[in-house]
Amino acid sequence: MSDSPHPLRQPVMDALGTVYDPEVPVDIVNFGLIYGLEITDDNQVKITMSLTSPSCPSAKAIPEECERKVRAIDGIEDVHIDIVWDPPWGPEMISPEGRHKLGME
């Protein structure tokens, strides 16, 4: 396996960047909910992510939207979403861009 980034990494991240929690005006990437992304040589995608809390009203819809959008990328063979709660999400995980959009600067 090569040390260079997988050619589908940026399209996957771009797709994830179009997913929003309906209660937050920042995409899930900039909101810090994506913890990991693995893409195998045969284009199997594993996304490790969290939500703001286990009781998030969109706990089912957000991962389903992620899977649907990533699966639609040409060349992707399969998508697996792994929801984790450790480490727990916190506002310190929000990107500088996300902080700017939320007025947290």
Is residue 41, in this structure, part of any structural domain at all? yes
- List the CATH number of the domain containing 35: 3.30.300.130
pLDDT at 37: 97
- What's the mean pLDDT in 9-30? 96
Range of the domain at 38: 9-91
Q: 7 pLDDT exceeds 60? A: yes
What is the share, in percent, of the chain residues with pLDDT greater than 90? 88
Report the domain count for the chain. 1
For residue 32, tell me if it sits in a domain: yes
- Checking if the pLDDT of 33 tops 80, the result is yes
Is position 104 within any domain? no
- pLDDT per position as a tens digit, 77-98: 999 999 999 999 999 999 999 9
Indicate whether 3 belongs to any domain: no
* 3-class SS shares of the chain: helix, strand, coil, % to 5: 30, 20, 55
Nearest 5°: CA angle at 92, between 49 and 11? 40
Q: Flag whether 30 is in a domain.
A: yes
Say whether 25 sits in a helix, a strand or coil.
Answer: coil
